[in-house]
Structure 1
Amino acid sequence: MASIVERPKKSGEITYQVKWRQDGAWQTENFGGEAGDDQAAQFRALVEAHGNQWPHGWTKGIGFVEPEQHPHDRALGEYAHSYADGLNTVDGRTRHDYKRDIERHFLGAPYTGPDGHAVRLGGLVHTAPDGTEHPPTVCNITQADVNEWVRRQRHTVTAPDDPEQILRTKASPKSIANRHGLLYMIFQSAVEAEPPLRETNPCKKTGLPRQDEGTDEEMVFLEHEEYARISAEIRAFDPAAADLADFLVGTGMRWGEATALQTRDINWTTGKVNVQRAWKRQDDGSFQLGPPKTKRARRLVKLTADQLDMLRRHVAGRGPEGWIFRGGQGKAWRHSNFYNRKWARGLDEAIKKGLGKRPRIHDLRHTHVAWLIEQNISPAAIQARLGHESITTTIDRYGHLLNNLDDEISSAVANAMRVVTPAPREGLRPLRSA
């Protein structure tokens, strides 16, 4: 903690010294004049807010100093768009999403006031030491500016003259982390540019919200009986649609993977299905086949005998490139069509009859994992089956469900630590207490 020490001078003037320890060494800053006590108190608060470190941008004995303007500085929006355009490792949809985030979240939600003046709200801005705000550039954004931007992302943005008009809803911790990751890459490219536009990346030490906030609300896990209710309602009016739902919850596949499966992807000898393509949304809203989400998402998924029997019914009479699961006119299912015509209808009926949850189609994937954990399947095996790029993803998303294994874990530890008392050797007497 920082402290303030009064240091009177011979002239009778009193100066105020702020003292604190940083990395084991004493640091001090002095303030004088009529407002010296208030300035010292404000500076002490800044030091403590920065974790007992010198405040970012503060020069000892001078105060906050604006960073020198780089001769090749550029508006952040312009630079960010050029960065996204230059990426050759992402598909068109990902580039479109990046540019959308740049416009809406980095530059702010657009708003036109009653006077016709257009502004952006809730985006990145540079706040100078005197409190004035300036449009963001590659060089003027500071770590404090990024932290303030993260804070703004966590709140709903409304119109200044109409609080009921929502311009942008508050972001989830995961969305904030994703947007911050893009911002980090943009600023890192400025650091690594030749010549460099910045010396440091202002996103490097950002405090991000925990990503497990609200996880239980976002993911819905169904018990076996709860899912059976939904499946039965769908099967009552469309058995083929119920088969697709059963396949999703029984394999844990993503929607885009399961609906991209073709007859040739089934190996009837090994009983496995080859996940090697998935549907990808394009800039214009259409869908095209592409590779799965990640490299590890290319995988073989073992099926049960019942699942293989179901697939035989669906592929009978179809060619190698025929879709296993088909919607109207023999075409592959689209998520919106299946949800509105099949899933929502069956779900509403199940809710009318007592189901207390409203899961999304993607929650069938989460439910599959919960059922595997219930059967003591290891996280590594779950990672491979779901096609997660890293086991960290599996643990972060479903680790809280592993509490169900507490009894098995404690039993295993007890067995490992059990010491078998050795039989005494012949001719030796046991020790007696004195």
Structure 2
Amino acid sequence: MASIWERKKSDGSTSYTVRWRNPGTRKQEGITLATSAEAQTLKRLLDANNQSFEIAQHAMVANQTKAPTLAAVIQEHIDLLVRPSVGTVHTYQTMLKLHIADVIGHIPVDKLDYRHLTYWMKAMQTKGRSAKTIKNNHGLIFSAMETAVRLGYRKDNPCRGVRLPSGEKAEDEARFLTHAEFGMILEGMGERYKAFTEFLVMTGTRFGEATAVTVADVDLMSKPATMRINKAWKRGTDSEYYIGATKTGAGKRTVSLNPHLVEVLIPLVAGRPGSELLFTTPKGERIVHKLCWHHYWVPAVEAAQVRGLKKAPRIHDLRHTHASWLIQDGVSLFTVSRRLGHASTRTTEQVYGHLMPQALQDAADAVERSAVVWRV
């Protein structure tokens, strides 16, 4: 942290010396300024930019411009969003306030450059922010800079070409269950949530989508039986939950139901008003992920691990498991993508492409044909 030292001069005036430790040489440096305001500004900029005097000085000079600040442009970008959800606006406002405004938000938008963005990312890492958090916040800045270009505040987007920290972690990878492994988990699941657990693995729906399905969304009489996914639970500005749109436009879809799942759902549909949620807690309320995880999912997984399960799957891995079963059974990537509600098959391929047995075999056969050449 930089510090400010005040000194009374012989003429009665006060000088202000800002001191900091150079991040490159690790030596203490200082500069004397005439006013407290200048000293406070320099201290704030040094603390926000990893004690880099070069960056801080550049920002102080740049502040003379008449262009709006980065924070102001991001706010304008948020205000210009077309039909954003309440949760999206709240999330963006929180990101701006917590991670951007106090670090580089003061920089004029036409002066923002690669160095500012790099120091911002390093500051985020120093605070222990995850790669995903940095990526999400960078995405907001990127989009705001696109808006800045459209509005004529600057000619280019400085976020283009900026390398983000890797967010790849072994524990973040999708976990796929075999039929036997899922059976072990289902066996230990509480009776109240067995049908819900089977529903997740047999439809591949997201938790927020599955818990928003109503009785009217299910048609068990059609051939095949179907279910309409057209909404999901969202978090509002005060952390309250409400029914909103699906994650993407492609998320609105019709999912076919297999005969076994139809049998499971008949008791849940029979005689109930169409407006009621298909799956609820014993009190008839929305199923909360955190509570379901803690009181039902974790005990079921632990019981399965006692019986030999070697994996530690999450609830969301039932969605991955559903996709893996379809792919291993020869279902096309296009069909899987539409069933999962992905915006494009590229997303599906990135996550599940390695599971396609024929693709793997085709690749192995191609390499073998190439190998014949050098063995001859």
| TM-score between both structures, scaled by the size of structure 1 | 0.65
CA distance in 1, matches of 2:249, 2:307: 42
Equivalences for 1:285-304 in 2 at 5 Å? 285-304=239-258
Is 1:206 aligned to residue 162 of structure 2? yes
2:275 matched to 1:333?
no
Of 368-377 and 397-406, deviating more is 397-406
Name the counterpart of 2:306: 352
Could you say if the C-alpha distance between residues 359 and 97 of structure 1 is closer, same or farther in structure 2, counting changes exceeding 3 Å? same
Shift of 1:403: 6.4
Q: Which 5+ residue runs of structure 1 have no aligned equivalent? A: 1-63, 108-119, 126-134, 158-168, 415-434
- List structure 1 segments (4+ residues) > 6 angstroms apart after TM superposition: 66-70, 411-414
Task: Judge conservation of contact 1:230–1:347 (CA < 8 Å) in 2.
Answer: yes
Judging changes above 3 Å, is the alpha-carbon distance between structure 1 residues 298 and 215 closer, same or farther for their aligned structure 2 residues?
Answer: farther
C-alpha distance 245-312 of structure 1, shift in aligned 2 (>3 A): same
Count of equivalent residues: 310
CA contact (8 A) 2:328 2:357 kept: no
| Structure of greater Rg | 1
Out of 190, 194, 203, which is 1:251 matched to?
A: 203
The alpha-carbon deviation at position 68 of structure 1 amounts to 7.0
Alpha-carbon contact 1:70-1:197 (below 8 Å) kept: no
Q: Name the SS of the counterpart of 2:195 in structure 1.
A: helix
Question: Which has the larger share of strand?
Answer: 1
Q: Is the Cα–Cα contact under 8 Å of residues 383 and 394 in structure 1 kept in the other structure? A: yes
Relative to structure 1, is the Cα distance of residues 202 and 70 closer, same or farther in structure 2, using a 3 angstrom cutoff?
A: farther
- Give the drift of 1:67: 8.9
CA distance in 1: counterparts of 2:367 and 2:261, whole angstroms: 37
| 2:182 paired with 1:227 | yes
Shift of 1:323: 1.9
| Deviation of the 1:347 alpha carbon | 2.1
Q: What is aligned with 2:335?
A: 381
- For 1:97 and 1:400, the matched residues in 2 are separated by 34
Match of 1:77 in 2: 71
- CA 1:396 to 1:150, structure 2 compared with 1: closer, same or farther past 3 Å? farther
- Find 2:144's aligned residue among 183, 186, 190: 186
The whole-number CA distance in structure 1 between the counterparts of 2:62 and 2:192 is 66
Residue 136 of structure 1 aligns to a residue whose secondary structure is coil
| 8 A Cα contact 1:233 1:350, kept in partner | yes
Superposed, which structure 2 residues align to 1:78-93 within 5 Å?
78-93=72-87
Where 2:242 maps in the other structure, the secondary structure is: strand
1:14-413 → structure 2 map (5 Å cutoff):
71-107=65-101, 123-124=103-104, 135-153=106-124, 155-157=125-127, 169-172=128-131, 174-193=132-151, 196-209=152-165, 213-214=168-169, 217-234=172-189, 238-267=190-219, 268-270=221-223, 271-402=225-356, 405-407=359-361
Cα 1:378/1:150, change in 2 over 3 Å: farther
Residues 179 and 403 of structure 1, relative CA distance in 2, 3 Å threshold: farther
Query: CA contact under 8 A between 1:83 and 1:186: conserved in structure 2?
Result: yes
| TM-aligned CA deviation for residue 310 of structure 1 | 0.7
2-structure distance, mates of 1:94, 1:403 = 39
Query: For the residues of structure 2 that align with 1:215 and 1:183, how far apart are their CA atoms?
Result: 28
Give the CA deviation at 1:380: 1.0
Query: SS state of the match for residue 283, structure 2?
Result: helix
Distance in 2 between residues matched to 1:199 and 1:67, nearest whole Å = 20
Structure scoring higher RCO (CA < 8 A, sep ≥ 6) equals: 2
1:312 shift after superposition = 0.4
1:147-201 deviation line (CA, Å, top 9, x unaligned): 3434544x342xxxxxxxxxxx3323x44333222111112222222xx222221
Whether contact under 8 Å (1:67, 1:140) holds in the other structure is no
| Deviation string, structure 1 residues 206-250 (Cα, Å, up to 9, x no partner) | 223456x2266342222222221111001xxx3230110111011
Unaligned runs of 5+ residues in structure 2 are 1-57, 369-376
Contact 1:376/1:405, CA 8 A, preserved across alignment: no
Q: Deviations over 1:33-52 (max 9, x none)?
A: xxxxxxxxxxxxxxxxxxxx
What is the deviation of 1:69?
A: 6.6
Q: Deviations over 1:271-295 (max 9, x none)?
A: 1111112111111122111221111
More helix by proportion, 1 or 2?
2
Provide the alpha-carbon RMSD of the alignment.
Answer: 2.9
Conservation of the 8 A alpha-carbon contact between 2:68 and 2:109: yes
